[in-house]
Amino acid sequence: MMTSPAPTLMAARVAVIGAGPAGLMAAQVLAEAGCAVTVYDRMPSVGRKLLMAGRGGLNLTHSEPLEAFIRRFGPAAVRMGPLIEAYPPSALTAWAAGLGQETFVGSSGRVFPKALKASPLLRAWLTRLQALGVEIRPRHDWTGWNAKGALTFVTPDGKATATPDATILAVGGASWPKLGSTGAWAKVLAKAGVAVSPLKPANAGFDVAWSELFRDRFPGEPLKGVALTFGRVRVRGEAMVTRHGLEGGAIYALCADIREAIAKDGSARLWIDLRPDARVEELAAKLAQQPANQSASNRLRKALHMTPLETNLLREAHGKELPADPAAMAAAIKGAPLTLTAIRPIARAISTAGGVDFRAVDKDLMLTARPGVFVAGEMLDWEAPTGGYLLQASFATGVSAARGVLRRLGLS
């Protein structure tokens, strides 16, 4: 009597929707655990926002102590903290090194690959994923679920469906939609009973009602080594003048508070200290040494090495006629008020605030309203300033969601 061969165990099938840092990292963790992973993305190629980040050197993470790192996430730190502790910056830099991309710590504490671009890392990463058997299906725009619970997609060849054992959603926020993140998923999840906070621009610039002369003359010029104060928060760094207003790292660090103030009051007052390392008395003494009959711009240039941008910024803040009195001029330099009238559109923001409420997911980032579906990356309701925090959080949540899938499937 012949006996039938023992049945072969089928690998768990997992769909990852979104081929950015969070999605690809989730795919790697799952594939290394033996899952059959298919990654779907609406764009023709993967990792487009990662490549965009590479234009600035690809700031992967930050070297500051982990406790301080986690505080950067503000109100979301309570939920983000355990996720980042489970996949900290040291793990991310070790992962990059494993792909042949050694990192270094810059003078600001930010961590970059030595190549200072994303393409070598992405190429090596995709090679590894291919070796792990990960299948990537581009041009698959996820639209939700059908009546039978299958994932639904729109593709160039028509509609398609998939019925995996588990799903990870990692389709990003709503910034830079031309790179793939449109935020269209918010309505899909809300319809499925998932609590989603409104999507808002984060790490974005703000509008300032510049004079015509200033708007035409100074766009693209940086304000270096300044201190910005909003409310009780003071930040040292750089800002960039644009035709619309201001952007840059120091602005982004204050973005959330300024955005909410404008939403509440219609505008916000930002104070700029153009010489944060000097006391008012020191500035006044240097100005007093200049002949009183000189123009204000000449006195500022000779005494304090002020650039035309800085001098004209003082005029934007205090009026065309700057004070002649050295003490008054020094005070004006230490506190130049600008009124910010609006945040720039979300399509131009670096990242997105809002998203899936943490109360809508369990500790493994699984949607309580949709068991078997996990969420990672910018889709979750967290925000942080630039400086390596954004990518670190995306990678870490991708890892956490993948580990959650493995626990649900009994594979860990």
Query: How many CB atoms neighbour CB 103 within 10 A?
Result: 21
The packing angle between helices 308-318 and 326-334, to 10°, is 90
Q: Are 386 and 203 a contacting pair, CB within 8 Å? A: yes
- Identify the band that residue 10 occupies on the pLDDT scale cut at 50, 70 and 90: confident
- Provide the token pair at 280: 């008012």
Res. 3 pLDDT band, cuts 50 70 90: very low
Mean pLDDT of the chain: 95
Of the three residues 343, 359, 374, the one that is the final residue of a domain is 343
**DSSP assignment letter at 24:** H
List, in order, residues 6 or more apart from 263 with CB less than 8 Å away: none
**Distance, CA of 33 to CA of 35 (rounded, Å):** 6
At which residue do the structure tokens 């409104």 appear? 198
| Together in a domain, 271 and 332 | yes
Query: Do 256 and 403 share a domain, yes or no?
Result: no
Residue 367 in domain? yes
Six-digit token string for 4: 């039938």
Predicted pLDDT of residue 325: 94
Query: Among 229, 335, 225, 326, which residue's Cα sits nearest to residue 281?
Result: 326
User: Could you tell me where the DSSP H helices lie in 306-385?
Assistant: 308-318, 326-334
Render pLDDT for 170-210 as a digit per residue (tens, 0 to 9).
999 999 999 999 999 999 999 999 999 999 999 999 999 99
Query: Are 153 and 213 members of one domain?
Result: no
* Boundaries of domain holding 391: 13-202+350-408
Q: Give the tokens for residue 105.
A: 């710590």
Q: Same domain, yes or no, for 271 and 326? A: yes
The 10s digit of each residue's pLDDT in 336-392 is 999 999 999 999 999 999 999 999 999 999 999 999 999 999 999 999 999 999 999
Same domain, 276 and 387: no
Same domain? 25 vs 95: yes
Position 9 scores a pLDDT of 54
Query: Whose structure tokens read 């709503």?
Result: 174
pLDDT in the model for residue 293: 86
- pLDDT tens for 250-275 read 999 999 999 999 999 999 999 999 99
Q: Are 135 and 265 contained in the same domain?
A: no
pLDDT (tens digit per residue) in 20-65: 999 999 999 999 999 999 999 999 999 999 999 998 899 999 999 9
| Degrees to nearest 5, angle at CA 316 with 312 and 319 | 105
Tens of pLDDT, residue by residue over 203-241, are 999 999 999 999 999 999 999 999 999 999 999 999 999
Final residue in a domain of this structure, among 296, 328, 343: 343
User: pTM for the whole thing?
Assistant: 0.92
Distance of CA 323 to the CA centre of its chain: 41
pLDDT of 7 above 50? no
Residue 6 lies in a domain: no
pLDDT at 114 over 90: yes
336 plus 196 within the same structural domain = no
Same-domain status, 339 and 364: no
Asked whether the predicted pLDDT for residue 8 surpasses 50, the reply is no
If asked whether residues 122 and 258 sit together in one domain, one would say no
How many structural domains is the chain composed of? Answer: 2
